[in-house]
Amino acid sequence: MLYDLVVIGTGPGGYVCAIRAAQLGMKVAVVEKRKTHGGTCLNVGCIPSKALLHASEMFDEARHGFAALGIKATAELDLPTMMKHRADTVTSNVTGIDFLMKKNKITPIHGTGRILSPAQVEVTAADGAVQVIDTKAIVIATGSDVARLPGIEIDERQVVSSTGALELDAVPARLIVVGAGVIGLELGSVWRRLGSKVTVVEYLDRILPGMDTEVAKAFQRILEKQGFAFKLGTKVTGIEKTGAGLTATVEPAAGGAAETIEADVVLVAIGRVPFTAGLGLDEVGVAKDPRGRVVIDDHFRTNVPGIYAIGDVVRGPMLAHKAEDEGVALAEMLAGQAGHVNYDVIPGVVYTMPEVATVGKSEDDLKAAGIAYRVGKFPFTANGRAKANRQTDGFVKILADAATDRVLGVHILGAGAGEMIHEAAVLMEFGGSAEDLARTCHAHPTMSEAVKEAAMAVDKRAIHM
Ligand code: FAD
Ligand code: NAI
């Protein structure tokens, strides 16, 4: 059998690329070393984390939010059932991918793929059986793996990565999170809501590097009110097992006196690294950059003709929807169409409570690039629906070009921000202005009215402020 396309890795990049290629008439096989499809995202990333974020938020609401709404309830944690909800959510999502593979007549091959040449992939199954698949093109969609701290071993029980943090069988009384990035704040939120005392140790002097500084600072204050403790500008230099617990040694990032913090569990969440081990890239001559990412051009082509790469294993944000859009664009290019990804309009969401959602440039980006801009801001404290929901934390911030009024960036800190951000993404995709957004009728009463009011505020004509 000669395939048109073999995709290695069935995360959001790989499975979406395979489906789109099959829709366009290609004969496609996918190679996956996990038992289930869906990659990091569906198995140990986006989906299980959101299942626990939702369940823990409901628990937190029941304990601390219901009373003010006139609901008397006592909430008791049943962690095994919450974990079953997480596992069932994963199962239902990954079996959905099996169905889509069948529907699109994609051949799934289970095992570890190694590229022998641009025309051949060797697959070694779990039982050691080896087969070689012939193909006209190969897509590397092997994703990423947890970044590790030198000298600190992750045992996934006491010292955990995100994978272990999704499966703890008891609520740790004291949780240290190393890294104030997306994983640290999302999974830190889950365990704080379930009862852990959470201390976040971050190397830099701020949380969520890369995000608009004003938004990140406001978010940090909200998290502190919720009970998070932050040690910024601090590095972990060692973790020792002490009887049933752990002792972490930390010191100022710039150097200085060390101190120790006691914990029951430490979550290491300092980023992820591209995963290409065992793929045979050096042997076939596929180039990687100094950070280990597969080097590609604007058409996802590696330096070896016939071999392409997408998703976390290449440059750009490590996000599922970015991987998916690259998968679609590449399949369309391979079919002779004009696939395209607009990297200027990729939303990013932190699924905490409140959520943080962002698209386009931050104020820091615009200052650094010397672009003149105008800012429109609107707080949820002035939004009727937010008051009705008792969800008034946060604000909407819109950055528009000072000369043309074109929207360059939108940042939302607030409940439901991850849904609201998409009207901004659509507007920006069409090159819209703050005026366009301000003149678009928004239903009342909705949280989204704050987006419209922030657009009006760019021109200092917000009504409710
Ligand atoms: P992956 O999903 O990593 O898939 C790669 C696949 O390739 C894996 O299944 C792997 O087993 C397989 N593979 C690797 N090597 C081989 C080989 N040699 N042979 C066969 N198979 C191989 N992103 C978001 O956008 N939103 C979120 O809410 C979000 N939450 C996250 C939460 C957590 C805890 C984590 C860890 C990540 C989260 N992410 C989120 C990031 C998201 O999971 C990744 O960006 C996304 O999965 C990348 O997709 P991918 O297809 O490039 O790679
Ligand atoms: P991250 O890059 O978001 O954050 C890592 C943090 O660790 C940074 O703040 C960094 O300064 C800090 N750090 C690095 N080394 C350190 C050290 N030695 N000591 C202390 N702090 C240190 O990475 P994270 O949170 O691990 O997430 C990995 C990837 O997964 C991200 O690229 C993210 O995009 C993706 N992801 C996306 C989610 C979403 O979209 N909601 C959810 C979870 C993950």
* Both tokens assigned to 429: 């995709």
Taking the C-alpha atoms of residue 438 and residue 424, their distance in angstroms, rounded to an integer, is 11
Tell me if 162 CB under 6 Å of ligand 1: yes
Tell me if 46 CB under 6 Å of ligand 1: yes
Q: Give pLDDT, residue 243.
A: 83
Contacts 24+ apart (CB under 8 A), 229-232: 229/197, 229/198, 229/199, 229/200, 230/180, 230/199, 230/200, 230/202, 231/199, 231/200, 231/201, 231/202, 231/261, 232/180, 232/202, 232/204, 232/205, 232/206, 232/207
Q: Is 142 annotated as a binding residue?
A: yes
Q: Give pLDDT, residue 463.
A: 97
Angle, helix 320-334 to helix 12-23, in steps of 10 degrees: 30
Q: Give pLDDT, residue 244.
A: 83
Please choose, from the candidates 69, 86, 63, 67, the residue with its C-alpha nearest in 3D space to the C-alpha of residue 195: 63
Q: Give pLDDT, residue 351.
A: 98
Please choose, from the candidates 418, 415, 410, the residue with its C-alpha nearest in 3D space to the C-alpha of residue 451: 410
Q: Give pLDDT, residue 68.
A: 97
Taking the C-alpha atoms of residue 30 and residue 17, their distance in angstroms, rounded to an integer, is 10
User: Which domains, ranges and CATH numbers included, belong to the chain?
Assistant: 2-145+273-334 (3.50.50.60), 159-270 (3.50.50.60), 348-458 (3.30.390.30)
423 - beta bridge partners? Answer: none
Taking the C-alpha atoms of residue 450 and residue 465, their distance in angstroms, rounded to an integer, is 11
Q: Is 184 annotated as a binding residue?
A: yes
Determine which one of 64, 340, 422, 444 is catalytic.
444
Tell me which ligand sits closest to the C-alpha of residue 9.
1
Q: Is 457 helix (H, G, I), strand (E, B) or coil?
A: helix
* Both tokens assigned to 134: 């012939």
Q: Is 239 annotated as a binding residue?
A: no
Taking the centre of ligand 1 as the mean of its atom positions, its distance from the CA of residue 311, in whole angstroms, is 8
CA-to-CA dists, residue 293 to 38, 200, 309, 323, 347, angstroms: 21, 28, 10, 14, 22
Question: Ligand 1, atom 40: nearest CA belongs to which residue?
Answer: 46
Taking the centre of ligand 2 as the mean of its atom positions, its distance from the CA of residue 207, in whole angstroms, is 10
Global ipTM? 0.99
444 is catalytic: yes
Please check whether residue 345 is in contact with residue 428, taking contact to mean a CB–CB distance below 8 angstroms.
yes
E-state strands within 380-451: 395-401, 407-414
Tell me if 40 CB under 6 Å of ligand 1: yes
Point out the residues of the chain with pLDDT beneath 70: none
CA-to-CA dists, residue 15 to 94, 160, 239, 304, 415, angstroms: 11, 28, 38, 22, 31
Taking the centre of ligand 1 as the mean of its atom positions, its distance from the CA of residue 40, in whole angstroms, is 3
Q: Is 182 annotated as a binding residue?
A: yes
Q: Give pLDDT, residue 215.
A: 98
Taking the centre of ligand 2 as the mean of its atom positions, its distance from the CA of residue 199, in whole angstroms, is 16
Q: Which of 36, 142, 325, 422 to mutate to test the pocket of ligand 1 (most atoms within 8 A of CB)?
A: 142
Tell me if 212 CB under 6 Å of ligand 1: no
* Cα first-last separation, the chain: 67
Local structure of residue 422 (DSSP, 8 states): H
